[in-house]
Amino acid sequence: MTESRARRESDNPSIWMYVSGLAVAYSGLMAARIVIEDVRFTSILLLLVLGGFVFSFIARQLGWFNLSPGLFVRWLFAGLIVYALFSFWTQGWVMPSDVETTYGGTAIAFLCWLVVFLSFMLASDEHVLFVAVPVIALLGVTAPALTPYQAFWLFTMFLGNTAFLLAHENFRRVYRTAKPDALLLRGHITVAVACGVLAALIGVLVGLTLKDTTVRLSGQALPAGLSTPASNSVSSSFNQPAILVGLGPVSLSEQPVLEVESSEPLLWRGSVYVRYTGRGWANPRYGFFGRDLFNTDMPFSEMPERRDGLYTLRVPPVSPEPTRYREIKQRYKLLSGAANVIYGAAQPVLVRFPNVAVRVDATGCLQSYYGYRAGAEYEVVSRVPDATPADLRRTPPATPTDVGALYFDVPPNPRLQNLVRDLTAGLTNNYDKVMALKAYIESNCTYNLNPPAVPMGRDAVDFFLFDSREGYCDLFSSALAVLVRYAGIPSRVATGFITGDQQPDGKYIAKEKHRHQWTEIYFPGWGWIAFDATEGAREVTEDRNRQGGSLSWQALVQRYGYLPWALLLGAIGLLLFAVVNEVMARRSGVSSASRIVRAYLRAVQLLQRAGVPRAEWMTPSEYAERVQKALPDAAVPVWGVTRLLERSEYGKGIDEAEVCEAERYLQQIRAVLKRQNRW
215 and 264 in a common domain: no
Position 191 scores a pLDDT of: 65
Q: CA 377 to CA 353: how far, in whole Å?
A: 8
- Rounded to a whole number, what is the distance in angstroms from the first to the last CA of the chain? 32
**pLDDT value, residue 469:** 94
> Is 570 a domain residue?
no
Predicted local distance difference test score (pLDDT) of residue 206: 46
| DSSP of 490-554 | -EEEEEEE---EEPTTS-EEEEGGGEEEEEEEEETTTEEEEE-TTTTPPB-HHHHHTT-SPPPHH
Tell me the one-letter amino acid at 441.
I
Mean pLDDT confidence for 428-451: 94
Calpha distance 573→58 (Å, rounded): 17
Position 580 in a domain: no
Q: At what angle do helices 592-609 and 635-650 cross, to 10 degrees?
A: 140
pLDDT tens per residue across span 268-294 = 999 999 999 888 898 876 556 678 888
Cβ within 8 Å of residue 640, ≥6 positions away: 661, 662, 665
- Tell me the average pLDDT across 557-579: 59
Single-letter residue type at 122: L
Q: How far apart are CA 170 and CA 187, in angstroms?
A: 13
The bridge status of strand 338-342 relative to strand 236-237 is: parallel
3-state secondary structure of 414: helix
Q: Is 572 a domain residue?
A: no
The mean pLDDT value for 205-212 works out to 44
The reply to whether 353 falls in a domain is yes
Spatial contact of 623 and 604, defined as CB atoms under 8 Å apart: yes
**Whole-number percent of the chain with pLDDT over 90:** 33
385 and 437 housed in the same domain: yes
Question: Strands, E, within 230-365: which ranges?
Answer: 236-237, 242-244, 256-262, 268-273, 275-276, 280-282, 291-292, 306-307, 310-314, 325-334, 338-342, 347-353, 358-360
Q: Residue 444 corresponds to which amino acid? A: N
Kindly state whether residues 121 and 155 are assigned to the same domain.
Answer: yes
Distances (CA, A) of 396 to 102, 188, 318, 403, 526: 36, 73, 20, 13, 11
Beta bridge partners of 511: 256
Over range 168-189, report the average pLDDT.
63
Q: CB atoms < 10 A from the CB of 522, how many?
A: 23
Q: Whole-angstrom Cα distance, residue 128 to residue 123?
A: 8
CATH code, domain with 416: 3.10.620.30
Give the rounded distance of the alpha carbon of 117 from its chain centre.
22
Q: Give the model confidence (pLDDT) of 520-550 as tens digits.
A: 999 999 999 999 999 989 888 764 444 444 4
Vertex 69: Cα angle to 63 and 74 (nearest 5) = 90
Alpha-carbon torsion (454, 455, 460, 461), positive or negative: negative
Q: How far apart are CA 368 and CA 375, in angstroms?
A: 15
Tell whether the torsion through CA atoms of 610, 614, 619 and 625 is positive or negative.
negative
- Tell me how crowded residue 368 is: count the other CB atoms within 10 A of its CB: 21
The residues that bridge with 509 in the sheet, in sequence order, are 259, 501
pLDDT at 147: 66
Domain extent for 658: 591-675
141 shares a domain with 271 = no
**Per-residue model confidence (pLDDT) at position 120:** 84
419 — pLDDT class (breaks 50, 70, 90): very high
Residue 560 included in any domain: no
Nearest to 330 by CA among 260, 390, 395: 260
Section 197-213 average pLDDT: 52
Output 573 or 602, whichever has higher pLDDT: 602
What's the rounded mean pLDDT across residues 608-632?
Answer: 87
Task: Please write down the HEC assignment for all residues of 69-131.
Answer: HHHHHHHHHHHHHHHHHHHCCCCCCCCCCCCCCCCCHHHHHHHHHHHHHHHCCCCCHHHHHHC
Give the pLDDT confidence score for residue 237 in this predicted structure: 57
Measured distance CA(223)–CA(335) in Å, rounded:
18
206 lies in the same domain as 305: no
pLDDT of residue 418: 95
pLDDT at 548: 44
Judge whether 612 lies within some domain: yes
The mean pLDDT of 206-213, rounded to a whole number, is 43
Nearest-angstrom CA–CA distance, 108 and 118: 15
Indicate if 376 and 489 belong to the same structural domain.
Answer: yes
Query: Is there a single domain that holds both residue 294 and residue 325?
Result: yes
Per-residue model confidence (pLDDT) at position 232: 37
Rounded mean pLDDT, 68-74: 53
Cα angle 34-36-39, degrees, rounded to a multiple of 5 = 90
> Does residue 427 form part of some domain?
yes
Q: Are residues 333 and 443 in the same domain?
A: yes
pLDDT at 321: 83
Assess whether pLDDT exceeds 70 at residue 160: yes
Of 194, 219, 244, the position where a domain reaches its end is 219
| 206 and 249 both lie in a single domain | no
Q: Above 80 in pLDDT, residue 637? A: yes
Predicted pLDDT of residue 598: 82
Q: What integer pLDDT is reported at residue 257 of this predicted model?
A: 92
Same domain, 294 and 215: no
454 lies in the same domain as 369: yes
Answer for the pair 236, 257: CB distance below 8 angstroms, yes or no: no
Claim to verify: residue 290 and residue 353 sit in the same structural domain: yes
What's the domain count of the chain?
Answer: 3
Residue 71 forms part of a structural domain: yes
Going by the DSSP 8-state scheme, the letter that residue 255 receives in this structure is: -
